[in-house]
Amino acid sequence: MVAWTLELGPVPQLQLAPVMFVPHVLLDAYAFDRAEMFDRNPTTSRAAERTAIDDLTDPIVALGPDRRVVRLNPAAEAVLGVDAETARDRPLAEFLDLPVGVEGDSESDPEADGTEPDGGRSRETVEVDSAVGAGRRTYAVSTSRLTDPNGTRVGYTVVLSDVTERERRRQQLEVLNRILRHNLRNDAGVVRGYGEILRDRLEDPELVRMADAVERRAGALAALGEKAGTVERLVSDKEASPVAVDELVASAVDDARERDPDATVESVAEELADGDWTTRVREDALRAVVENTVENALDHHDGEGTERDDGGAWVRVSLRREGERVGDGGRGDDDDRFVLVVEDDGPGVPDHEVEAVESGRETALEHGSGLGLWVVEWGAAAIGAEVDYADRDPRGTRVTVSIPVVN
């Protein structure tokens, strides 16, 4: 418009205002809508952001690209023992010794060295001497990249979550577990050995029976220690991997037959059209479920079964697939499962033991006889499986384990 009015340029009679009107409108619209040139109420927005951060109980630190402190919320001030004004523009390393690979030095680039997986987020733990008299605390450190609307990295946020009590309980359980397992294994071995000696040397049938009971109970205690070790492994974090369910079940059946050669352990597997029994789960958890389901049936048999003429222990293990497998990288619906069924003709699982496991807790009136059912429950939870207990006619228990098919 100005050029046309002053007759400037090589073609002064050319009026460009109408031609530029449409681009001008489009750019204005972008500025108002996409670029948020004028916020509806910027003062309210900034106040809301400050309030949201300041009210959080977790310590939060905002860092610039050079990893110098931009902002601390009050919780971070309390934990680090420094006020926001004093900390501003100073390296976070002056106040917090983060693990290597979480914050790093100012020269490293987390994107380049792979220390920020999962979309620019890393997580470790750090111990801090609390500045508020709370003693030494353990924090889980979560670091995330801050980006602008164009995806350019403009800084980082560091969030500290107090996990002191969780870590303390974990350490206590680990120590208690290992001590109990060690003592159970050693002491049960001694008792079992003396029980065998007594049984071989005694002549009184009643004393022989008692010595035999001592030996068997010592063996049960040793097995309890091994199950405690299984529990410790189940609560740890492990990656899923491809597992051939049919091979794992066959291996568990072979182990059961070797461990108890006097028992009858039948095994039946459905013939699959594609022959593929593979699913992607934690192998250790699935093995714990299968092995303990079979072991429970054998260990608690009372010798009064109906399937064998002598009433001896009998177990049947069957495997089938329900539903159709989905394509690579996917997971089927709730009907797409491998189904393991373990049947026995023993006395059955007491209702109070099943109720204790299903309720997720044991009380003085609902005390289970061992860890077997709990190992099955926790192992199933680790792989997303479902476990159902039912009475078997005319006698015994039927345990059904539905295992997800994951590609």
Overall average pLDDT of the 116-136 stretch? 60
Degrees, nearest 5: CA angle 301-305-311:
100
**Residue 130: C-alpha distances to residues 135, 164, 181, 198, 208 (Å):** 5, 12, 35, 60, 63
Q: Where are the domains of the chain?
A: 2-33, 59-162, 169-236, 239-404
What pLDDT, on a 0 to 100 scale, did the predictor assign at position 318? 97
CA distances 190 to 184, 198, 259, Å, are 10, 12, 21
pLDDT for 152 = 85
Say which CATH topology domain 239-404 has. Answer: Heat Shock Protein 90 (3.30.565)
Task: Please tell me the least confidently modeled range out of 194-203, 251-260, 377-386.
Answer: 194-203
- Ranking 38-42, 346-350, 392-396 by mean pLDDT, the lowest is 38-42
Q: What is the mean pLDDT of residues 126-130?
A: 76
pTM beyond 0.85, yes or no: no
In 3D, which of 358, 396, 388 has the Cα closest to residue 374? Answer: 358
Confidence at residue 151, expressed as pLDDT on a 0 to 100 scale: 83
Among the residue ranges 124-138, 147-161, 271-285, 354-368, the one predicted with the least confidence is 354-368
- Residue 225 above 70 pLDDT? yes
Mean per-residue pLDDT, 271-289: 92
Question: How far is the C-alpha of 87 from the C-alpha of 93, rounded, in Å?
Answer: 11
Q: How high is the pLDDT of residue 278?
A: 95
Supply 270's token pair. Answer: 């459905």
Residue pair 161/142 in contact (Cβ under 8 Å)? The answer is yes
The average pLDDT across 100-107 equals: 46
AA identity, residue 113:
D
Q: What is the mean pLDDT of the chain?
A: 78
Residues 248 and 267: beta-carbon distance below 8 Å: no
CB-CB contact of 338 with 319 (8 Å): yes
User: Distances from the Cα of 143 to the Cαs of 103, 104, 254, in angstroms?
Assistant: 7, 11, 48
Strand-strand pairing, 121-129 and 136-147: antiparallel
Helix axes 283-299, 372-383, angle to 10 degrees: 150
Q: pLDDT: is 183 or 363 the higher one?
A: 183
Task: Give dist(CA 14, CA 8) in Å, integer.
Answer: 10
The mean pLDDT value for 300-320 works out to: 95
Q: Is the peptide bond before 74 cis (omega within 30 degrees of 0)?
A: no
Q: What angle do CA 357, 234, 243 make, to 5 degrees?
A: 110
Say whether pLDDT at 106 is over 50: no
Question: For 159-171, what is the mean pLDDT?
Answer: 83
Q: What is the third-level CATH fold of 59-162?
A: Beta-Lactamase (3.30.450)
Compare 274 and 19 and report the one with higher pLDDT.
274
What are the phi and psi torsion angles at 245 (to 5°)? -65, -40
pLDDT in tens, 344-356: 999 998 888 888 7
Query: What span, in angstroms and rounded, lies between the C-alpha atoms of 36 and 27?
Result: 12
Of 282 and 130, more confident: 282
Antiparallel, parallel or unpaired: β 153-162 and 264-269: unpaired
Query: What does the pLDDT average to over 314-333?
Result: 71
Nearest by Cα to 93 from 113, 70, 67: 67
pLDDT band at 249 (very low <50, low <70, confident <90, very high): very high
Which tokens belong to 173?
A: 């359980």
Beta partners for residue 91, in sequence order: 68
What pLDDT shows up at residue 227? 76
3-class secondary structure, 369: coil
Least confident of 46-55, 228-237, 244-253, 317-326: 46-55
Across the range 117-139, mean pLDDT stands at: 65
Is 60 exceeded by the pLDDT of residue 282? yes
Q: What pLDDT shows up at residue 42?
A: 54
Q: Classify residue 243 as exposed, middle or buried by CB count within 10 Å of its CB (0-12, 13-18, 19+).
A: buried
* 310 neighbors 259 (Cβ within 8 angstroms): no
CA proximity to 122, closest of 135, 113, 131: 113
- Averaged pLDDT for residues 391-407: 94
121-129 and 69-72 strand pairing: unpaired
**Residue 331 confidence class, pLDDT cut points 50, 70, 90:** very low
CA distances from 61 to 66, 84, 85, 155 (A): 14, 10, 13, 11
Distance CA 67, CA 63 (A): 5
Looking at the predicted structure, is the pLDDT value of residue 129 above 70?
yes
Q: Report which of 192, 179, 195, 188 is spatially closest to residue 221, judged by C-alpha positions.
A: 188
Q: CA-based Rg of the chain, rounded to a whole angstrom?
A: 33
Rounded to whole angstroms, the Cα distance separating 288 from 234 reads 9
Report whether 214 contacts 195 (CB < 8 A): yes
